[in-house]
Structure 1
Amino acid sequence: MKKWIKGMAAAGIASAVLLAGCGGETEEKGQESSGGNKEKTYKIGVTQIVEHPSLDNAYKGFQKALEDAGIKADYDVQIAQGDQNNNQTIANNFAGDKVDLIFANSTPSATGALNATKDIPIVFTSVTDPKAAGLVKDPQNPGGNITGTTDLHPEAIPKTIEFMAKEFKGKNVGVIYNAGEQNSVAQVEEVKKVMEKNGLKMVPVTVSASSEVKQAAESLAGKADMIYIITDNTVVSALESVIQVANQKDIPLFVAELDSVKRGGFAAFGFEYYDIGYEAGEMAVKILKDGKKPGDLPVQPPQNLKLLINEKAAKEMNIEIKDEWKNEAEFVK
């Protein structure tokens, strides 16, 4: 049985990060199967910048895709706990260990992996704009040793902002993000453009760590009519802080993915991170099992998009559910 052992990085030891992998029942490389044939067990390094439900679900989807394809794997899972030094050390260690493939779960994780190796195949997910992040020159023809799935459906931001502008009276929208995440900067630039087209004004607040998120949310009280949380790993990892402020101040809280709606956000046009993780896993199967080169596999965006509304959150934020929303949205209680 595979087990994921979680823990914090030890202070002062850059390489002392979370380790996880298959338990004792996993076959060793080259160990004979019951039929007498030797089946390879692939060594897969999993690098993830922080822990939060969306990234965790993407990893579960990735594992399931390999399992469904009959691929045996040992997973070495390491979490950087938001620390860029740890993030690069993790990638360097995977390169030194000569793992068979690196699964990079987030933009910083993918960047660290690509900095560490140009030889080992890298499959990423939870990356918003791989071209802007410098991961690929052309998403349709990535080239090199990297490809993966993105976490931004082309219609997600426009649909969310159009919904805000059409269904709510306020014009000022607070956006909290980490300016150190390229993933976030790319989204914020797009959000600002779309808001301006829809007559909304963005009220940006930047943070550098999850411990700053609550104060950032509190600073928006009286300034923002709504709050929109993009797929920023720093902020999403501390989403409960934003939810608390939104509930207390009756500020509609829009989020960028469905897991954050389930945690207490009001609404999102989004998709399941499990699905993009699974799709990334299917790419890994093509690389490991079929001998495909990562650079020949086009980067793939999310395939499904839907509106999800949290009824309990709506009540907490003093939002009245309109009848017409019921024809468009799915609901969680």
Structure 2
Amino acid sequence: MKFRNKNILAVISLFAFSFFSQAQDIKSVAITAIVEHPSLDRVRLGVEDELKANGYVVGQNIKIQYQSAQGSSANAAQIAKQFVASKPDVIVAIATPSAQALAATTKSIPIVFTAVTDPVAARLTKSWDASETNITGVSDALSLDKQIELMLKVKPDLKTIGYVYSPGEVNSTIVLKQLQESLAKLNINVIAAPAQRTSDIPAAARSLKGRVDLIYTTTDNNVVSAYESLVKVANESKIPLIASDPDPVARGAVAAIGMSYYDLGRQAGKIVIRILNGENPGNIPPEIGNVSQLAVNLVAAERQGIVLSEDLVKSAEQVIDK
């Protein structure tokens, strides 16, 4: 009987050890976004797909938790505290406010930011070199020269552009300043229309009626969340709407050249995997997204009183014509 009991105890011990070992092998990744909209949703999908493509299966060897701050900085700060308390292996921060909230909450848990235009201006990193901290990631910065080139292809006689933006979002204020400096050299004016909250976007857009030749939007999360209200004003006023992100083109912008946010997520996912494999985030320099796309919407162009050149349409990776 004693021999049999010893065998049973040995089996139980072996099972317990095996279970404990498997539990130890399960990695934990937390993902948060400042708000949910198509571009940021694609970033998250890209991260998850990259993990899956590299053998990480939810429920087997990885646990993934996700929360959206629903556009609220206060929510972002609360989510940061919750995530840090759960001690994941890596936290992915989608967009600047979420990344800033996490950076203020932990100095030890690895943070991988993405969909952040300028991590230095956002005070996430001191430079574009390896930070030697717990933060690294992938920026969605895109040359403003390409944006201006697109504006002039859509509206060759451009004299004034309208810029709807959130003054509390550092990405947007940086782009505004750069835009004003670059366009001044071309004798093109910028009329800024600030909108502190998503609910302010329609009024900001309407304030541009009769004052601008074109409306330009960057990857401002509040603006992108309320993009249909901008499209409505552009259609009614016959003002072409240009975006810096291909996703809003399907929602009614005339054209956009910008990052592929899905590929941006895949790129961030690669960094997450490097950290899960033991690399120190402080030794990984921030990267810039390496896949951009030109998209045009012929239906939107007609509604907004503009004819896109044949060359522009032919050069687009995505053409919406119905």
TM norm structure 2: 0.88
- 1:165 is aligned to 152
The equivalent of 2:42 in structure 1 is: 57
Specify every segment of 5 or more residues in structure 1 that has no aligned partner in the other structure, as ranges: 1-29
**Aligned to 1:312, which of 295, 299, 316?**
299
Q: Distance in 2 between matches of 1:273 and 1:163?
A: 19
Q: Corresponding residue for 1:21? A: none
Question: 2-side partners of 1:326 and 1:240: how far apart?
Answer: 23
Matches of 1:246 and 1:326 in 2, distance apart? 20
How far, CA to CA, are the matches of 1:115 and 1:98 in structure 2?
Answer: 15
Q: CA deviation at 1:37?
A: 6.1
Q: 1:213 to 1:31 in 2, by over 3 A?
A: farther
Q: Which residue of 2 aligns with 1:25?
A: none
Deviation at 1:313, TM superposition (A): 0.9
**Per-residue deviation, residues 66-125 of structure 1 (Å, max 9, x unmatched):** 111112322221111111111101101111111211110000000001111001000110
Give the alignment of 1:229-268 within 5 angstroms. 229-268=217-256
SS of corresponding position for 1:86: helix
Residue 109 of structure 1 aligns to a residue in which SS? helix
1:41 CA displacement: 2.1
Deviation at 1:166, TM superposition (A): 5.0
- When you count helix as a share of all residues, which structure comes out higher? 2
Q: 1:66 aligns with which of 37, 44, 51?
A: 51
Answer whether contact 1:161 1:198 (CA < 8 A) is retained. no
Secondary structure, in 3 states, of the residue corresponding to 1:94? helix
Report the count of equivalent residues: 299
Q: Verify the 8 A CA contact 1:255 1:268 in the aligned structure 2.
A: yes
Q: Structure 1: which amino acid aligns with 2:291? A: N
Find the counterpart in structure 2 of residue 106 from structure 1.
Answer: 95
Asked if 1:187 corresponds to 2:187, the answer is no
Q: What's the offset of the Cα at 1:142? A: 2.1
Q: Secondary structure at the match of 1:116?
A: coil
Separation in 1, partners of 2:116, 2:213: 29
Aligned to 1:285: 273
Residue 301 of structure 1 and its aligned partner are, at CA, apart by: 0.8
The Cα offsets for residues 123-179 of structure 1, whole Å up to 9 and x where unpaired, read as 1100000000000012122220011111112x2x21121232354223110001111
Deviations 1:251-296 (A, max 9, x none): 000001111112211111112100011100000000002x111111
> Contact 1:136 / 1:143 at 8 angstroms: preserved in 2?
no
- Name whichever of 189-198 and 249-258 sits farther off: 189-198
User: 1:91/1:328 Cα in 2 relative to 1: closer, same or farther (>3 Å)?
Assistant: same
Distance 1:277 1:174 in 2: 30
Partner secondary structure for residue 315 of structure 1: helix
Percent identity over the alignment is 37
Name the amino acid aligned to 1:67.
K
Matched-pair contact (CA < 8 Å) for 2:103–2:124: yes
CA contact (8 A) 1:31 1:39 kept: no
Q: 2:193 aligns with which of 205, 230, 255?
A: 205
Q: Is the 8 A contact 1:178 1:208 kept in 2?
A: yes
Residue 138 (structure 1) aligned with residue 123 (structure 2): no
Gaps of 5+ in 2: 1-16
Cα deviation code 1:17-51 (max 9, x no counterpart): xxxxxxxxxxxxx9859xx9667222222111111
CA contact (8 A) 1:162 1:198 kept: no
CA contact (8 A) 2:244 2:258 kept: yes
CA deviations on 1:271-329 (whole Å, 9 max, x unpaired) are 2100011100000000002x111111111111122321111111111211222223422
What residue is the counterpart of 2:5 in the other structure?
none
Runs of 4+ in structure 1 off by over 3 angstroms are: 30-33, 36-39
Local SS of the residue matching 2:120: coil
Opposite residue 65 of structure 2, the aligned amino acid is D
CA contact (8 A) 1:178 1:207 kept: yes
Paired residue for 2:9?
A: none
Contact 2:260 2:293 in 1 (8 A): no
- Alpha-carbon shift at residue 248 of structure 1 (Å): 1.0
Distance 1:39 1:255 in 2: 45
Question: Are 1:214 and 2:202 an aligned pair?
Answer: yes
**Equivalent in the alignment of 1:17:** none
Distance 1:323 1:105 in 2: 36
Secondary structure of the corresponding residue to residue 203 of structure 1: strand
Q: 2: distance between equivalents of 1:326 and 1:235?
A: 26
**Counterparts of 1:78-97 in structure 2 under 5 Å?**
78-97=67-86
2:264 corresponding residue in structure 1: 276
Residues 153 and 312, structure 2, Cα contact 8 Å, conserved in 1: no
